[in-house]
Structure 1
Amino acid sequence: MPERSQTVACRKSIVDTRTVATLKEHAKQIYLRTLEAARLDTHLAEQVRWADGILQVGEHSFPLELYRRAVIIALGKAAVPMAVYSADLLRGYLPFTGLVLAPENSGAPAELTFLRGSHPFPDESSRRAAELALELAREADGETLVLWLISGGASAMMEMPLVPEISMDEMAAFHRMLVHSGLNIAEMNALRKHVSAVKGGRLAVAAANAATQVTLLVSDVPEGRPDVIASGPTIPDGSTITYCRVLLSRLKEPLPPAIAELFAGLELPETPKRNDPAFARAFYLEVLSSSTLCTEAAAIARDLGFEAVVDNGCDEWPYDKAAVYLLYKLARLRQPGKRIALISAGEVAVPVTGPAGNGGRNQHFALYAAQLIDGMANTAVLSAGSDGLDGNSLAAGAVADTATWEYAKDPAGALERFDSGTVFSLLGDAIFTGPTGNNLRDLRILLADD
């Protein structure tokens, strides 16, 4: 990369490279400190604990004397740390067994069966995970405390067709079609729930033999939708068959034959709703969500001397519209002599057409934003995933400033090739954290110093 001079003459203004370099460092600092502040173990310890023989889960109390055993079933990208915390909490108080289903075994408790989860599409290992989860659930009785530990990514990791006529190959094809359908995550998961034996509250129904069920959630979906996280295996479902059929009318590709037949037939059962008896002794607590990211990032930005504003209004928008929206909001917030931080959480859509290079939605967003701020007065834009991974790259995301577009190698071509990761790696502006063991959606940080 060519060495930057102290100032760079640009079309729109004179960019102070020292200032924008500082802004980039501040953006990275806000992101990394936010990840630390949103640590799962810290928030679990605050919300799930023993007190005088009573397990306190948020506002709910569960006296130890009511139970003779516990079952821990942890699913998703944060399954291992959630299982470790819960096992440490129960050990010495209640005997327990269970299952951990995660992308990698980074130290799951020895008392629990570990299965490596398939992602992003289900396979036979997903069926095996579903069978074991159902078996554990059905064995629970009135003296069993069942802890469901659920985080994003488990929709593919655990799957079983609702009817035997549907093969796992068809389920994988169905998941693949949905990922490329243009539907948002809530819409995709509504369809997944209605053809699955374990989604949409059906795992809770399997454990309904008087067992006490507690679900702890780490949310990677829009706020207020716990039934969408991992397709809501233990949460009353808010979607309906009628809604699903409306969604199906928007699909451009045909459904796998057996799934199409199931949706077309009158015998398709509705998913369990809030009034189902299975939820009479079921409780849930959202331990972490994207609002945690926003709250922590805003506090850290203020600590660094910025006036912080949170705006999640572009969640699930196309990346280009989201970039324009946020940069326009930043422009309106700018005032002489003030340092502004605009914080936004959620996900943006980046439809991929043709072969993709290296990168993901965060780096693609950051590179597109770099084009919009090219030569603008002192501005930096960071976009990165809270799970530490972005698309098919090893980076969590990237940070851009007002000179990124000028110094990047063929940035316009990189956008067309979906190769933003290569651009930011060459510039030294890709952000690497490794897997964080958390999954709270993406964080965007836009900074301005006037």
Structure 2
Amino acid sequence: MTITTATLREMARSIFIQSLTDCSVEEAFARLVRVSDSGRRVLIGGSEAIDLEHLKHLRIVAVGKASATMLGALLNCLKGLPHDVAGILIAGAQPANLPPGFQFFAGGHPLPNEASQAGARAALEMLHGLREGRSDAAATLCLFLISGGGSAMMELPLDPSITLAEMRSFYQELVHSGASIAEINCIRKHFSAVKGGRLAVAAAGVATLSLLVSDVAPDHLDALASGPTLPDTSTVDQCREIVARYGLQDQFPAAVRRFFDRLDLPETPKPGSFAGKAITLLSSDQLAAAARVRAEGLGFHAVIDNTCDDWDYQAAAEYLVGRLRSLRSIHPRICLISAGEVTVKLPSTLSKRGLTGVGGRNQHFSLYAATLLDPSDASTVILSAGSDGIDGNSQAAGAVVDEGTLETDAQYGDAAAQKYLREFDSHSILAPLGSTIVTGPTGNNLRDLRILLAAN
């Protein structure tokens, strides 16, 4: 029986929403903290178990889009333990039930703000205090709860003469450069006093553990939030090469240019320089796997293909549409799943021309993908959305399109779509068409998910 395009659209939305539910932060922490055979609560990570009831002092630094959810889930698992618990929460919004002993900072994203700097200073101050004059360090544990978005939400330049306005301009150029997140964060690590392992180094002498909800590729965990607590595998030379390749040096404010021009640009802490223990609680791999299970439950043959991770949005869309067409010739009901991010380079002339488009990489990808579909792609649906519920500067998480999304009239036809793509204003055409996906902030952040469905 042929499935209508409308039904496929609802199925794609359902797979996306249910996959987010299946990757719950709360459930991830419940799996992490367990009761041992002796009846004591322990934190299980890899081959080691930390006896939580042995601890007297627990300090927490939580930063990123999922940090409030992570902190709430952790504290729920620790209820009843006689810990002295305190810490720093740097997130988009303050939770209603933030306990005493925690300082909150509303860090900015995608650009840092005053709270980003204040939160970074508070975290460094707390960590320095931990290693100075404490006689019971063996009974102290510092947990870092790190999630995507932390790069902007917690920031402090290595060069204290760089102003907040200059730092925001620097971040703006990085975000619009078209570079991958790993490349952008390589630059940020060498700019920052709290990135590239420097935050963990501030806690030297105290037991630390990082718990990660990752929005980066699994083999680039030190790029998550620009790696504040993990040894950095990137180098100053790589940083300079990326800046040169994307022509960024001339775009940076003068103070930032002078910083990167330094012959003695400080190198970040490298593997082996400190013990950066970390546990990945959730990642995009788990999100893609959850989507596959959901799609198979709906009767689709499901394939995961992350080949186009970090590709330019056009190349990624063309690859995935071509792959779907090929798979469709074999399987009557096919679901192609792709996790990760695509890149969209915004020209510096955009703001100078007074153009203020609304949208993000997911809607931009979806709109371009819609232009690739033709009548031969009947019963094809393409969804792209961010697991954090936020796509660029819009209120949407992403969008879902099909072969009939772009009509033939001038207002919503292919020519109009090309205009909105040129102006990076995808939301303004997709929203009136009912194609946007609005979830609100999810409290999670596992990169983007693309779901392509086709039924013969």
**1:18-40 deviation digits (Å, cap 9, x = unpaired):** 62111111111111111111111
Partner of 2:359: 359
- Residue 219 of structure 2 aligns to a residue whose secondary structure is coil
Mapped to 2, the partners of 1:156 and 1:108 lie a distance apart of 24
**1:164 lines up with 2:160 in the alignment:** yes
Q: Distance in 2 between matches of 1:126 and 1:305?
A: 46
Label 1:109 to 1:399 Cα distance change in 2 as closer, same or farther (>3 A).
same
Matching residue of 1:135: 125
SS of aligned partner of 1:85: helix
Aligned to 1:231: 226
**1:131-176 deviations in whole A, cap 9, x for unaligned?**
1000111122423110100001111111112133333333222222
Q: Share of identical aligned residues, percent?
A: 47
Question: Would the alpha carbon gap of residues 22 and 135 (structure 1) be closer, same or farther in structure 2, given more than 3 Å must change?
Answer: same
Matched, 1:113 2:98: no
Mapped pair 1:95 → 2:89: no
Is 1:49 matched up with 2:34? Answer: yes
Superposed displacement of residue 449, structure 1:
0.7
Q: Match of 1:244, as an amino acid?
A: C
CA contact (8 A) 2:327 2:334 kept: yes
Is residue 78–residue 218 contact of structure 1 (8 Å, CA) maintained in 2? yes
Aligned pairs (5 A) from 1:5-404: 19-51=4-36, 52-59=39-46, 60-64=48-52, 66-93=54-81, 94-107=83-96, 109-111=98-100, 112-141=102-131, 142=137, 143-209=139-205, 211-253=206-248, 254=250, 255-276=252-273, 278-279=274-275, 282-335=276-329, 338-353=332-347, 354=350, 355-375=355-375, 376-404=377-405
Q: Is the 8 A contact 1:379 1:446 kept in 2?
A: yes
Distance 1:53 1:43 in 2: 19
2:433 partner amino acid: L
C-alpha change, 1:337 and 1:262, in structure 2 (3 Å) is: closer
> 1 CA distance for matches of 2:18 and 2:302?
15
Q: Which residue is equivalent to 2:134? A: none
SS in 1 for 2:406: helix
Answer whether contact 1:20 1:380 (CA < 8 A) is retained.
yes
Aligned-partner Cα distance in 2 for 1:350–1:245: 21
After superposition, what is the alpha-carbon deviation per residue over 1:88-119, rounded to whole angstroms, capped at 9, x for unaligned? 22332112000111011133522211111112
Shift of 1:425: 2.1
Counterpart of 1:48, as a letter, is V
| Aligned-pair CA distance for 1:337 | 6.4
Are residues 352 and 181 of structure 1, via their aligned partners in 2, closer, same or farther at CA, if it must alter by over 3 Å?
closer
Please give the alpha-carbon distance, in whole angstroms, between the structure 1 residues aligned to 2:241 and 2:160: 25
* Greater mean alpha carbon deviation, residues 81-90 or residues 435-444: 81-90
Distance (Å, rounded) in 2 between the aligned partners of 1:132 and 1:266: 30
Change (3 A) 1:108 1:349: farther
Answer whether contact 2:384 2:451 (CA < 8 A) is retained. Answer: yes
Q: Please, what TM-score do these two structures have when normalized by structure 2? A: 0.89
For 2:192 and 2:418, the matched residues in 1 are separated by: 42
CA distance in 2, matches of 1:265, 1:368: 41
Code of the residue aligned with 1:386 in structure 2: it is: S
How many residues of Structure 1 are paired with residues of Structure 2 in the alignment? Answer: 430
Comparing 316-325 with 86-95, greater Cα deviation is found at 86-95
Q: Secondary structure at the match of 1:340?
A: strand
Does the Cα contact within 8 Å between 2:366 and 2:383 map onto a contact in 1?
A: yes
- Aligned twin of 2:417: 411
Q: Which runs of 5+ in 1 are unaligned?
A: 1-15
Q: CA deviation at 1:124?
A: 2.5
